[in-house]
């Protein structure tokens, strides 16, 4: 099929008024939660899952995707003005963005971040549009062994490269795979780990799991450290960039786009890593590295571009291989399954409206965001004054009522609280819930793939290595993993040289 005509077909989906409205709602919500302290995009998307039930698949995912990339824009605002990274992806923006703000250049920092984000996002969509069909076509030949290897390595990479301790993340991922085995075994029809409960006979539902671990867990965790805000923020000034700013930043934006796009595709890479990497690169290539940490505009432009490019390109493995590259993609994976759309190589032919509609909606969403973030920054800043003590009970009630509406089930509500408490305790003890949810959504298909493979190989695991595609995949993923670890080692050095203490006075 001609890619260009498919892309154009996607715009027919996007320009339906209802989809435009939900796209706008998504990026607006994303921007808001990016600005607000507390809930991040994963938690928000989880909490809003029940709302997506009544929507068309394309509409639902257009909105959820909007929340995800919208939050990248919003998080920048608080990083620059308040030294509070709204999201982990905007952490490095603090280094130079806040310094720029202190020097009365907040407007330029926000302006270049918005422009960079827009460039990174839109170029990345272009890459996504042309690369995704190629990958999907290639993946059509995948059999159970390839799928087993792919999911295994995907989970491993996400666990070891995500934030937090690799061992703890691995433990969490294995626990997620175990939770996915609860319910009826697809091969033997046997009920597994149902503990005599009818409620567990069909397994644990994804919605209460994600809403509990991400939503309620996050809210409970924040209850403990109730904030007393005394936010003082520097004057924003005019959100505009000068010619000189643009000349200084354009190379950084170009590098950030490429870097973000590549890192975003890799499982476990994601937006946070790409922004850190971009900061390190910019500092290295700069003729005046001493300026970094003292308000170098390249240090804002590069990372802000990279995180948006990565957020967009991380849709590639999800939409073409059915492999979520990070926790947010895992929740969107779950949302697609709820809609009866299985993400994977068949998606592009079986559900072209969803596939191309979602991709094309990102153009529109990025335009919305650019328009909103430049003139309306002052408005979003005012939202920061809403106290967390008021937001928490309202959010929790939306969560509780929302989860009930999915199955009209009180049991689901108890599950949400149960997983909420587990999520809270996990955070207290240093476990990230992300790998658990990711492993949980992949668990069922992964087990099926492994068992089918073992039958195929007559019980010999060596088959995974000898089959050409799965063997190559194994090798490629191992090499990619080593590369990422090496990159990460190098980037962790970078913030050391940055005058962190100065930033944190």
Contacts of other proteins in 274-303 (CB under 8 A): 276
Which of 20, 258, 370, 398 forms a contact with other proteins (CB under 8 A)? 398
Nearer to other proteins, 73 or 431 (CB): 431
Give the shortest CB-94-to-other proteins separation in angstroms. 7
Rounded distance between C-alpha atoms, residue 168 and residue 160, angstroms: 9
Which of 5, 197, 460, 466 forms a contact with other proteins (CB under 8 A)? 460
Q: Does 193 bind other proteins (CB under 8 A)?
A: yes
Give the shortest CB-287-to-other proteins separation in angstroms. 25
Count the alpha carbons within 13 Å of 288 in the hemisphere toward its beta carbon.
10
Q: Cα dihedral sign for 222, 225, 228, 234?
A: negative
Nearer to other proteins, 356 or 440 (CB): 440
Give the shortest CB-144-to-other proteins separation in angstroms. 12
Which of 178, 251, 254, 262 forms a contact with other proteins (CB under 8 A)? 178
**Residue 21, by phi and psi: left (phi above 0), alpha (psi -120 to 50) or beta?**
alpha
Q: Does 405 bind other proteins (CB under 8 A)?
A: yes
Q: Phi and psi at residue 248, in whole multiples of 5°?
A: -70, -30
Nearer to other proteins, 108 or 396 (CB): 396
Q: Does 246 bind other proteins (CB under 8 A)?
A: no
Q: Does 168 bind other proteins (CB under 8 A)?
A: yes
Nearer to other proteins, 182 or 335 (CB): 182
Q: Does 230 bind other proteins (CB under 8 A)?
A: yes
Q: Does 94 bind other proteins (CB under 8 A)?
A: yes
Give the shortest CB-82-to-other proteins separation in angstroms. 7
Q: Does 40 bind other proteins (CB under 8 A)?
A: yes
Q: Does 80 bind other proteins (CB under 8 A)?
A: no
User: Which residues lie below 8 Å from residue 408, measured CB to CB, with a gap of 6+?
Assistant: none
Strand partners, 191: 184
408 SS3 class: coil
Stretch that binds other proteins, among 22-30, 32-40, 64-72, 198-206 (CB under 8 A): 32-40
Q: Does 467 bind other proteins (CB under 8 A)?
A: no
Q: Which of residues 54-73 bind other proteins (CB under 8 A)?
A: 54
Stretch that binds other proteins, among 177-185, 254-262, 294-302, 325-333 (CB under 8 A): 177-185
Site string for other proteins, 305-344 (x = CB under 8 A): ----------------------------------------
SS3 string, 2-29, reads CHHHHHHHHHHHHCCHHHHHHHHHHHHH
Nearer to other proteins, 81 or 354 (CB): 81
Give the shortest CB-173-to-other proteins separation in angstroms. 9
With CA atoms as reference, report the closest residue to 34 among 333, 373, 282. 373
Q: Does 175 bind other proteins (CB under 8 A)?
A: yes
Give the shortest CB-456-to-other proteins separation in angstroms. 10
Question: Are the C-beta atoms of 392 and 97 separated by less than 8 Å?
Answer: no
Nearer to other proteins, 61 or 413 (CB): 413
Rounded distance between C-alpha atoms, residue 475 and residue 295, angstroms: 42
With CA atoms as reference, report the closest residue to 435 among 136, 55, 230, 171. 171
Q: Phi and psi at residue 196, in whole multiples of 5°?
A: 70, 15
Q: Does 231 bind other proteins (CB under 8 A)?
A: yes
SS3 string, 409-458, reads CHHHHHHHHHHHHHHHHHHHCCCCCHHHHHHHHHHHHHHHHHHHHHHHCC
Nearer to other proteins, 47 or 413 (CB): 413
Nearer to other proteins, 340 or 459 (CB): 459
Nearer to other proteins, 64 or 348 (CB): 64
Contacts with other proteins by CB under 8 A: the residue count is: 92
Q: Which of residues 421-440 bind other proteins (CB under 8 A)?
A: 421, 424, 427-431
Which of 164, 352, 471, 480 forms a contact with other proteins (CB under 8 A)? 164
Count the alpha carbons within 13 Å of 181 in the hemisphere toward its beta carbon.
13
Look up residue 450 and give its two tokens. 């492994």
Stretch that binds other proteins, among 35-43, 202-210, 295-303, 472-480 (CB under 8 A): 35-43
Rounded distance between C-alpha atoms, residue 398 and residue 395, angstroms: 5
Q: Phi and psi at residue 344, in whole multiples of 5°?
A: 160, -175
Give the shortest CB-455-to-other proteins separation in angstroms. 7
Question: Are the C-beta atoms of 33 and 41 separated by less than 8 Å?
Answer: yes
Rounded distance between C-alpha atoms, residue 310 and residue 293, angstroms: 23
Four-point Cα dihedral 160, 180, 466, 140, nearest 10: -100
With CA atoms as reference, report the closest residue to 170 among 161, 182, 159. 159
């Amino acid at each position: 099929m001609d890619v260009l005509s498919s892309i154009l077909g996607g715009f027919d989906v996007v320009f339906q008024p209802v989809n435009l409205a939900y796209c706008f709602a998504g990026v607006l919500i994303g921007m808001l939660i990016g600005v607000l302290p507390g809930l991040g995009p994963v938690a928000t998307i989880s909490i809003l899952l029940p709302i997506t039930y009544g929507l068309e698949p394309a509409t639902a995912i257009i909105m959820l995707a909007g929340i995800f990339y919208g939050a990248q824009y919003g998080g920048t605002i608080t990083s620059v003005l308040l030294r509070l990274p709204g999201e982990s992806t905007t952490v490095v923006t603090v280094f130079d963005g806040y310094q720029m703000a202190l020097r009365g250049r907040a407007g330029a920092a926000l302006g270049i971040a918005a422009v960079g984000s827009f460039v990174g996002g839109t170029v990345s969509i272009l890459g996504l549009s042309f690369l995704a069909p190629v990958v999907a076509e290639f993946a059509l030949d995948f059999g159970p062994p390839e799928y087993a290897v792919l999911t295994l390595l995907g989970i491993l990479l996400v666990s070891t490269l995500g934030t937090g301790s690799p061992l703890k993340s691995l433990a969490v991922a294995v626990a997620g795979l175990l939770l996915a085995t609860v319910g009826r075994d697809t091969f033997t029809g046997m009920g597994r780990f149902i503990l005599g409960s009818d409620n567990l006979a069909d397994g644990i539902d994804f919605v209460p799991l994600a809403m509990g671990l991400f939503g309620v867990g996050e809210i409970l965790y924040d209850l403990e450290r109730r904030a007393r805000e005394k936010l003082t923020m520097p004057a924003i000034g005019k959100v505009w960039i000068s010619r000189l700013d643009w000349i200084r930043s354009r190379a950084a934006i170009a590098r950030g786009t490429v870097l973000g796009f590549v890192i975003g595709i890799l499982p476990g890479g994601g937006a946070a890593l790409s922004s850190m990497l971009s900061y390190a690169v910019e500092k290295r290539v700069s003729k005046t590295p001493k300026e970094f940490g003292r308000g170098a505009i390249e240090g804002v432009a590069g990372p802000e571009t990279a995180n948006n490019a990565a957020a967009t390109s991380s849709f590639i493995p999800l939409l073409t291989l059915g492999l979520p590259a990070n926790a947010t993609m895992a929740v969107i994976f779950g949302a697609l399954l709820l809609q009866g759309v299985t993400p994977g190589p068949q998606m592009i032919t079986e559900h072209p409206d969803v596939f191309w509609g979602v991709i094309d909606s990102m153009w529109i969403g990025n335009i919305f965001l650019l328009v909103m973030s430049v003139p309306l920054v002052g408005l979003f800043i005012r939202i920061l004054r809403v106290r967390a003590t008021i937001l928490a009970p309202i959010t929790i009630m939306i969560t509780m009522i929302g989860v009930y509406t999915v199955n009209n089930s009180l049991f689901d509500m108890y599950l949400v609280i149960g997983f909420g408490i587990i999520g809270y305790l996990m955070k207290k003890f240093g476990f990230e819930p992300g790998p658990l949810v990711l492993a949980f959504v992949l668990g069922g298909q992964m087990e099926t793939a492994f068992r089918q493979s073992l039958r195929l190989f007559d019980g010999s695991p060596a088959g995974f290595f000898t089959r050409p595609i799965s063997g190559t995949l194994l090798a490629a993923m191992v090499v990619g993993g080593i590369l990422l670890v090496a990159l990460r080692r190098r980037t962790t050095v970078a913030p050391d040289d940055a005058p962190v203490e100065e930033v944190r006075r």
